[in-house]
Structure 1
């Protein structure tokens, strides 16, 4: 007779559980970037405007943020596994919506469900990874999302170019992966004992403690600049790559997002043992340098220069959020870290979604190239502001 779930969970090796949870994070973020190379196809087939294209991305971010703010602490009360199970279930439903989508309305529904699922699962998965391994967990929780985002965009772009059913196949594969993970979740060990208070925990709490505010104001421009660049690359990036290269291929757009994300992950990994001030200074230097090269690529219609710029900006993209988090989180008094983390998430996801949404409408009004110059200048200005703030006063 097969042993019960609880017995199997107790015998589950920690390295295997750590790998499983890390792969679930990679899958969630890979799925989030699978639609990115498909946006030009959706736009051509369904005849909707560029603002609607960026709305699809922004809707994902808004629902993700809403879920994070309301369910971010839910796994502390229900346990990690039930919350991850809920997120995986909704994510699978989102993949099925993508599979059957025939118009913009279903696409928007799929993106909203996907944001909701990712927001529900993100906090529980991050906590489960750290519960499983206190030493390797934090760095894996930081690197896995960037790796997933890059692989999802690159894989989707490749499938669009070389495989049949370009608007469906990627989501079919992701559906299979999520079903496998739903089954695999049964073999994991629960690390939190359920307790009462789950409904009360759904009340959003977001506050910056007074001792944190001066440092928060100095370092947050680096975080905003990083997420703004990430949001732009995931929404309008493939359209930009297509215009600059002049080539009808989805792979270049996917490669651009992949390059930014994987270089961001590499930056987080290489900088993980550096001082916070060093991370922020390097991030605030590489980000404006990389974006300047991106703008040069747009100006000269050079796809090589464009990709080079994203590659240089990548470590700044990854380091901006990590540096800001490491600078402010230790300053929060006991009991206020969760609300401060909520503020950081609010700022980050709004920084990714709002500029991308504004850029979508600006593209309609002024054209893609002037919009890219404007957004690029905005990111450069914020990164230089962070560089000035961190260089003026020591950040531990």
Structure 2
């Protein structure tokens, strides 16, 4: 009997060490954001099959983002209180359910339901996984977790849209295959998370069931930023809003813009627009990891301006080359903004403030990503895609210039 008890005890011990756990949580961020971008190339197939408008498309897109925002505002700090492992494992299983709902969708209502559930799960999972990266950071490599938090999400979006584009082009049942592959991946990651050490200092030392009233108290909407992180967030906020607003445009309406410029181009072209944005963002974030965070954030914001202007000009030039060049510039700016902003926000945060600070950053980002996209869809319905692109680009440029001018008058220590 004693040997059986000892065996069970050993089975409960974590298997993954610090390095393995760091890699697992980095791969989890990649998978979560890959799942967020994977539907982008599939939207054209949904539109062709179900005959819905650009406005409906932006509503489907924003259902995910708004649900994610709700999760970040209510459950973003949950892993600080209940533990990283149970929160992240549960969120990943919810992701798997969302993939099943999306794979079985037969119309827009089911698609919105699947994307909404996915948004809720992603909001919980990204803050928990991002905080766990900071917990498992090697002491001899400080700053690595903040860099990973900046690079892995955009790398995930790039991987998701590229893989989905390939499946749309070559795989049978492309509106189902991508979701089923992600479903299997999330189940595997949920199981692997249970093999990692618990790093959050919960009230009882280890996770245990909590009373309903206490859970409701934890789930109240909150905005939490570590006091030491507030100056950095204030500096980066205009660039964050501009970058994510532009990212939302490319994600939802980028394929439509590519079809407007080149109506007879392959279906994969639309997906490659968003891939170009995210790939450029990942490369820029990686290249800038050793530079000062303030410099990276402001330089990234400056790159958004020529990117937006070139994208704005592409329909008038009837040039896919101009579209992809503008997208690449905007992507480099996006990568710089996210890399610099996350370092400014996360490095000063204490361990118990990490999930909340990260959730606030993502809440600001996805709010900036969703609301402008809905307005762009409405403008597209009323005045056409080209007019919507012009107004969207002009707004991003104006916001970015305002942020840069404001940053020039802030003390450098901010």
TM-score by structure 1 length?
A: 0.91
Matches within 5 A, 1:220-239: 220-239=237-256
**2:172 aligned with 1:146:** no
What's the counterpart of residue 207 of structure 2? none
Aligned-residue offset at 1:92: 0.6
When structure 1 is superposed on structure 2, of 354-363 and 342-351 the one drifting more is 342-351
What's the counterpart of residue 47 of structure 1? 51
**CA distance, structure 1, for counterparts of residue 401 and residue 275 of structure 2:** 25
**Contact map agreement 1:205 1:342 (CA 8 A) in 2:** no
**CA distance, structure 1, for counterparts of residue 192 and residue 354 of structure 2:** 32
Indicate which of 155, 160, 174 corresponds to 2:163: 155
Give the superposed CA RMSD.
Answer: 2.7
When structure 1 is superposed on structure 2, of 9-18 and 293-302 the one drifting more is 9-18
What's the counterpart of residue 169 of structure 1? 177
Indicate which of 258, 264, 275 corresponds to 1:247: 264
**CA distance, structure 1, for counterparts of residue 265 and residue 73 of structure 2:** 40
Aligned-residue offset at 1:175: 1.3
**Contact map agreement 1:294 1:309 (CA 8 A) in 2:** yes
What's the counterpart of residue 267 of structure 1? 284
Matches within 5 A, 1:243-392: 243-327=260-344, 343-392=360-409
> Would the alpha carbon gap of residues 116 and 208 (structure 1) be closer, same or farther in structure 2, given more than 3 Å must change?
closer
* Long gaps (5+) in structure 2: 205-213
**Contact map agreement 1:155 1:254 (CA 8 A) in 2:** no
**CA distance, structure 1, for counterparts of residue 81 and residue 351 of structure 2:** 19
3-state secondary structure, aligned to 1:206: coil
**CA distance, structure 1, for counterparts of residue 405 and residue 354 of structure 2:** 26
Map Cα deviations across residues 205-257 of structure 1 (whole Å, 9 max, x no partner).
Answer: 22679998887555422111001001111111111112222235332222211
**Contact map agreement 2:84 2:128 (CA 8 A) in 1:** yes
Indicate which of 205, 217, 223 corresponds to 1:206: 223
Matches within 5 A, 1:72-221: 72-134=76-138, 135=142, 136-195=144-203, 198-206=215-223, 219-221=236-238
What's the counterpart of residue 23 of structure 1? 27
Aligned-residue offset at 1:337: 7.6
Aligned residue pair count: 396
TM-score by structure 2 length?
A: 0.87
**Contact map agreement 1:97 1:109 (CA 8 A) in 2:** yes
Aligned-residue offset at 1:179: 2.0
Aligned-residue offset at 1:8: 6.4
Aligned-residue offset at 1:30: 0.4
Map Cα deviations across residues 239-295 of structure 1 (whole Å, 9 max, x no partner).
Answer: 111222223533222221111112112222222222233223311221101111112
**Contact map agreement 2:301 2:333 (CA 8 A) in 1:** yes
**CA distance, structure 2, for counterparts of residue 61 and residue 318 of structure 1:** 19
**Contact map agreement 2:135 2:351 (CA 8 A) in 1:** no
> Would the alpha carbon gap of residues 6 and 75 (structure 1) be closer, same or farther in structure 2, given more than 3 Å must change?
farther
Aligned-residue offset at 1:121: 0.7
Aligned-residue offset at 1:340: 5.9
What's the counterpart of residue 58 of structure 1? 62
**Contact map agreement 1:9 1:186 (CA 8 A) in 2:** no
